[in-house]
Amino acid sequence: MIFWKIIYNLILLPLLFAMFCTGSLFLEKIRLGMIGRFRSYQDLKSFMERTGTGKTIYWFHASSHGEFEQVKPVLAGLKEVEPLSFSVVSFFSPSGYNHVNDEHIDCKIYLPFDFPWLIRKCLNLVQPKKIILAAYDVWPNLIWVSRSMGIHSALFAAQFSEGTSKLSPVIRNFYRNVYGSLSAIYTISEQDNKRLQRILHPMKRPIVRVLGNPRYDQVKQKSDNFTTERTESVLLRPKRLIAGSIHTEDEHVILDSIVNLMRDIKDLTLVWVPHEPSDRIVSEAESFFQLKHFTTARLGLNNPDQIETRVIIVDSIGKLSQLYWDGQVAYIGGGFSSGVHNVMEPAIARLPVFFGPYHKNFNEAKELIADGGGFSIENGTALYEGIKNLFENRVTFIKASYAATEVIHRNLGSATRVVRNLIHD
C-alpha cells in the first residue's frame, strides 16, 4: 500500500491537479468545481459552528446529479431511522452541487481536493460516523485517511463492467489497495460481486454484499407523484416521442431518422430535451426543426399538452422525469458518447426505451434489452424501424411497455437493504 500511496500522491495526484488547473482556464464547468473546492473547508467549518460538536454526522458523496439519484433514497431512509443525525453531502461535479436541493441535506459542499493533509483536516473537523460513497467516484486519499482515522467507509451501488480496466494486472493492484481499505462494499449484482472479488483477491477485507441499485427505488418514488393522475393505458396518451438527454453525438445519428418518422407518421409529435439546454443549443434545435418545416415551441413553464406544435424543445433542466408521462416512446441520449443516461425514468412511465450502443456499464439497460422493454440501436435506420414497428403493432407495443415497467418493479427494495446494512456493518 505504501508504494501506491507514494505513486498516487507524488505523481498521479499532482498530474491530475495540474490538468484540472489547465482545464479551468478554458471550461467553465471545471472552473466552477475548482473554485468550489477551494472553499469546501470553510463551508464545513461554518456548518460545524452552527451544528456543534458531538453530533452524529454521515458524510455522503456522489459524483454528480445523476449519482445523487442513488444517494437520495438511502439518505432519506437513514434520516428516518436516525432523525437526530446530520448529513454532509459532497459532489465532484457542478451538475450535482448546483442542481441538487434536498430537504435531508444539512451541508452541501464540493468534495475537497484529494490531498491527504486536506482530507485529514476536513475529517478531523467533521468527525463523521461513516463516509458513504455512491457508485464509482472513489478517491484514494479519502479512503486511506478514513481508514487510518478509524472512520467506517462504505461504497454502495458498486458496479464493475465486463472487461473493466480495473482487472488488468497493474491497475488491479492499485484498486485492490483502494477498495481493500473500504469497510464495506455493496454491489448491484452478482456479476459485479464476482468481478470485485477478482480485484480484491487474496484480501479478506472489506465486507462485500450484493444489495442492488437504490436508483430503482428513487425512480419509483418520483413516479408515484404522477401515476395517480395517469392510470390510463400508455396508448391513450398523445402519440409522442420523448428524446431525452440528447448529446451532439446522438444528434448526428438520430435527427434525420426522427424527421422521417414525423413525416411518415402525421400525428407523431416530439419533445426534444438537450442534455445541456443552453440558449445556444436550444436555438440551434429550433432552427433545425423549423428548416424541416415543423412548428416548434419552447416548453418554458408549460405542460406539453398545452402546446400544439409538432416539436417541443425543453429549455431548462429538472423536468425530464415528468415529461415521460406525457409520451408513448422514448429515446435516451448518451449511448453514442459517454454512456447512456437514465433509462429507468422512461421505463417506470411505461415507455419502450431506445438508446445507443454504449450501455454495457449499465445493468438496467441490459435488463431492459433482455426483457424486451429496451432496444439498443447502432444507427438511425434502426431507430426509425424500431419505433415504426411499435406504432404499427399494438400487441408488440403493449408487451414492450409492460416489460419496461416490470424491470423497475423487480428491482425495488435496494435502498432499504443498503440502509439496514449501513447501520449494522
Per the domain annotation, does 425 fall within a domain?
no
Residues 185, 319, single domain; the answer is no
Q: HEC states along the chain?
A: CHHHHHHHHHHHHHHHHHHHHHHHCCCHHHHHHHHHHHCHHHHHHHHHHHHCCCCCEEEEEECCHHHHHHHHHHHHHHHHHCCCCEEEEEECCHHHHHHCCCCCCCEEEECCCCCHHHHHHHHHHHCCCEEEEECCCCCHHHHHHHHHCCCEEEEEEECCCCCCHHHCHHHHHHHHHHHCCCCEEEECCHHHHHHHHHHHCCCCCCEEEECCCCHHHHHHHHHHHHHCCCCCCHHHCCCEEEEEEECHHHHHHHHHHHHHHHHHCCCCEEEEEECCCCHHHHHHHHHHHHHCCCCEEECCCCCHHHCCCCEEECCCCCCHHHHHHHCCEEEECCCCCCCCCCCHHHHHCCCCEEECCCCCCCHHHHHHHHHCCEEECCCHHHHHHHHHHHHHCHHHHHHHHHHHHHHHHHCCCHHHHHHHHHHHC
| CB-facing half-sphere around the CA of 35: CA atoms within 13 A | 11
Pick from 178, 212, 246: which residue ends a domain? Answer: 212
- pTM for the full predicted model: 0.83
Task: Give the structural domain span for 329.
Answer: 220-410
**Burial of 347 by CB count in 10 Å (0-12 exposed, 13-18 middle, 19+ buried)?**
buried
330 φ/ψ angles, rounded to the nearest 5 degrees: -130, 145
Residues 119, 208, single domain; the answer is yes
Pick from 196, 212, 228: which residue ends a domain? Answer: 212
Strand partners, 108: 89
**Burial of 281 by CB count in 10 Å (0-12 exposed, 13-18 middle, 19+ buried)?**
middle
114 residue type, one letter: D
Residues 184, 303, single domain; the answer is no
Per the domain annotation, does 415 fall within a domain?
no
- Across the chain, which distance is largest between two alpha carbons, in Å? 66
Residues 114, 28, single domain; the answer is yes
Predicted confidence pLDDT, tens digits, the chain (425 residues) = 789 999 999 999 999 999 999 999 988 889 999 999 999 999 999 999 999 888 999 999 999 888 898 999 999 999 999 999 999 999 999 988 998 989 999 999 999 999 999 999 999 999 999 999 998 899 999 999 999 999 999 999 999 888 788 888 889 999 999 999 999 999 999 999 999 999 998 888 899 999 999 988 888 887 776 554 554 578 889 999 999 999 999 999 999 999 999 999 999 999 999 998 999 999 999 999 999 999 999 999 888 989 999 999 999 888 898 899 999 999 999 999 989 999 999 999 999 999 999 987 788 999 999 999 999 999 999 999 999 999 999 999 999 999 999 999 999 999 999 999 999 88
Helices 40-51 and 116-126 pack at an angle, to 10 degrees, of 10
Q: State the CATH number of the domain containing residue 181.
A: 3.40.50.11720
Pick from 183, 212, 241: which residue ends a domain? Answer: 212
Structural domain count, the chain:
2
How do residues 283-326 score in pLDDT, each as one tens digit? 999 999 999 999 999 999 888 989 999 999 999 888 898 899 99
pLDDT at 231: 46
Please answer whether residues 233 and 239 qualify as being in contact, where contact means their C-beta atoms are separated by less than 8 angstroms: no
Per the domain annotation, does 14 fall within a domain?
yes
Residues 126, 243, single domain; the answer is no
Residues 264, 168, single domain; the answer is no
Please answer whether residues 74 and 214 qualify as being in contact, where contact means their C-beta atoms are separated by less than 8 angstroms: yes
Per the domain annotation, does 423 fall within a domain?
no
Pairing of strands 296-298, 207-210: unpaired
pLDDT at 326: 92
Residues 188, 265, single domain; the answer is no
Per the domain annotation, does 421 fall within a domain?
no
Residues 240, 195, single domain; the answer is no
Residues 76, 195, single domain; the answer is yes
Q: Of 110, 215, 208, 219, which Cα lies nearest the Cα of 160? A: 208
Residues 30, 161, single domain; the answer is yes
Per the domain annotation, does 46 fall within a domain?
yes
Please answer whether residues 356 and 334 qualify as being in contact, where contact means their C-beta atoms are separated by less than 8 angstroms: yes
Please answer whether residues 351 and 327 qualify as being in contact, where contact means their C-beta atoms are separated by less than 8 angstroms: yes
Residues 382, 261, single domain; the answer is yes
CA 63 – CA 158 distance, rounded (Å): 13
pLDDT at 232: 54
pLDDT at 95: 84
Q: State the CATH number of the domain containing residue 250.
A: 3.40.50.2000
pLDDT at 225: 61
**Burial of 272 by CB count in 10 Å (0-12 exposed, 13-18 middle, 19+ buried)?**
buried
For cell 409520451, name the residue: 327
CA 28 – CA 95 distance, rounded (Å): 12
Residues 170, 93, single domain; the answer is yes
CA 128 – CA 422 distance, rounded (Å): 14
Per the domain annotation, does 418 fall within a domain?
no
Per the domain annotation, does 291 fall within a domain?
yes
